[in-house]
Amino acid sequence: MEKVSIIGSGNVGVAAAFYLAEKGIANIMLIDILEGKAEGSALDLAEASPLRGYDVKIQGSSHIEDIKGSKIVVIAAGKVRKPNTLRLELLEDNMKIGDPIIEDIKKYAPDAIVIVLSEPVTALTYYTWKKTGFDRMKVIGVAGKLDVTRVCEYTAQELGVTPVEVSALVLGGHHKFMVIPPEFIRVCGIPIDELLPKEKINKIISKAREAGTTILSMLKKQTSMYSPGAAIAETVGAIINDTRAILCVPTCLDGEYGFKNTCLGVPVQLGKNGVERIVEIELSLPIREELQASADVINKTIESMGI
């Protein structure tokens, strides 16, 4: 069975480990710099296995070298937002936290696929790619899948249908400039504009853009954990199981959609090698303009990194 390591045993990292355990597709190694934190969470998860019926090895460690042999390494370490702060305000601190982690991944898991969750996720996915020197198809972020999930949930709430009947697409960055094309929101294949008026569609899009901030404002001292944890598990599952599933993820681009040397959320096909294919779709002029605006924000952030 493949091994997946999750660096950072906070709420999101542990939630991701739980969802992965439920899938039963990989052995899990939780890593945290605070001694006992990863070990305790791993033991707690393992003790639930007789009740939940999962049969995978779940371990915890404060020693980063224990990521050796990982098929996938998830970076979930770093500072999280506080109320009334922006994701971009975490950039400098999380770059510093990420630097030794990136070096250790290069040293102990040089063949791993790397999935970035630390905020600001799109910019840090690019940073991780540049610092590791890995193939760009083996370094991705988790954001688009999470944002798509939120669009689907809010659409389902508005229509009174099950969320599994809803599909959507989210492009660009994981911030207020994320691009949510209404024409790609569908319920059982039916375009959303045939089911809801424009003002209600716009309300769904607005709620999805602010979903993380809304949860943060309610919880005060922590950010969302279950939905990003589930998004990590879904992304990991597509790779481990080689499903060739098409998911929206932050990906480093080299000419796709007209962008080079940057990172944007776009639809990709995921499999055993990471990104197997970047899926380029035809976008309307207004959506292309929105995507450019989103890219401009990310590019300014990348320029500030000095890499």
Asked if residue 300 and residue 169 are part of one domain, the reply reads yes
What is the structure's pLDDT at 90? Answer: 81
Asked if residue 275 and residue 229 are part of one domain, the reply reads yes
Single out the residue of 155, 124, 120, 157 nearest to residue 140, CA to CA. Answer: 124
Q: Which value, in Å, is the radius of gyration of the alpha carbons in the chain?
A: 19
Task: Convert the pLDDT of each residue in 176-211 to its tens digit.
Answer: 889 999 999 999 999 999 999 999 999 999 999 988
Say if residue 267 is preceded by a cis peptide, omega within 30 of 0: no
Task: Convert the pLDDT of each residue in 103-126 to its tens digit.
Answer: 999 999 999 999 999 989 999 999
Categorize the per-residue pLDDT at 147 as very low, low, confident or very high, splitting at 50, 70 and 90.
very high
Asked if residue 297 and residue 163 are part of one domain, the reply reads yes
Distances (CA, A) of 217 to 15, 82, 212, 221, 274: 20, 8, 9, 9, 34
Task: Convert the pLDDT of each residue in 224-267 to its tens digit.
Answer: 889 999 999 999 999 999 999 999 999 999 999 999 999 999 99
For 190, the domain range is 144-305
Distances (CA, A) of 107 to 68, 69, 101: 9, 11, 10
Asked if residue 217 and residue 99 are part of one domain, the reply reads no
Q: Please tell me what DSSP assigns to residue 196.
A: S
Asked if residue 130 and residue 151 are part of one domain, the reply reads no
Which of the residues are catalytic?
Answer: 174
Asked if residue 21 and residue 166 are part of one domain, the reply reads no
b/e burial code for range 241-261 (CB count within 10 A of at least 16 → b):
beeebebbbbbbbeeebebee
Asked if residue 121 and residue 161 are part of one domain, the reply reads no
Categorize the per-residue pLDDT at 79 as very low, low, confident or very high, splitting at 50, 70 and 90.
confident
Strands 58-61 and 186-187, by their bridges, are unpaired
Asked if residue 282 and residue 239 are part of one domain, the reply reads yes
What is the structure's pLDDT at 143? Answer: 83
Q: By 3-state DSSP, what share of the chain in percent is helix, strand and coil, each rounded to 5? A: 50, 20, 30
Number of domains in the chain: 2
The domain boundary residue, chosen from 141, 166, 186? 141
Asked if residue 103 and residue 10 are part of one domain, the reply reads yes
Is the CB of residue 179 less than 8 Å from the CB of residue 290? yes
The domain boundary residue, chosen from 93, 124, 141? 141
Residue type, 231: A
What is the structure's pLDDT at 205? Answer: 94
Asked if residue 162 and residue 102 are part of one domain, the reply reads no
Strands 260-271 and 72-75, by their bridges, are unpaired
Strands 245-254 and 260-271, by their bridges, are antiparallel
List the CATH number of the domain containing 266. 3.90.110.10
Is residue 87 scored above 80 in pLDDT? Answer: no
What is the structure's pLDDT at 216? Answer: 77
Is the CB of residue 244 less than 8 Å from the CB of residue 154? no
Asked if residue 166 and residue 129 are part of one domain, the reply reads no
Q: How far apart are CA 287 and CA 284, in angstroms?
A: 5
Categorize the per-residue pLDDT at 175 as very low, low, confident or very high, splitting at 50, 70 and 90.
confident
The domain boundary residue, chosen from 103, 119, 141? 141
Query: What count of Cα atoms within 13 Å lies in the side-chain half-sphere of residue 45?
Result: 30
List the CATH number of the domain containing 74. 3.40.50.720
Asked if residue 37 and residue 93 are part of one domain, the reply reads yes
Report the SS3 class of residue 211: helix
- Conformation bin of residue 72: beta by default, left when phi > 0, alpha when psi is -120 to 50: beta
Distances (CA, A) of 297 to 11, 85, 95, 152, 262: 28, 17, 18, 25, 11
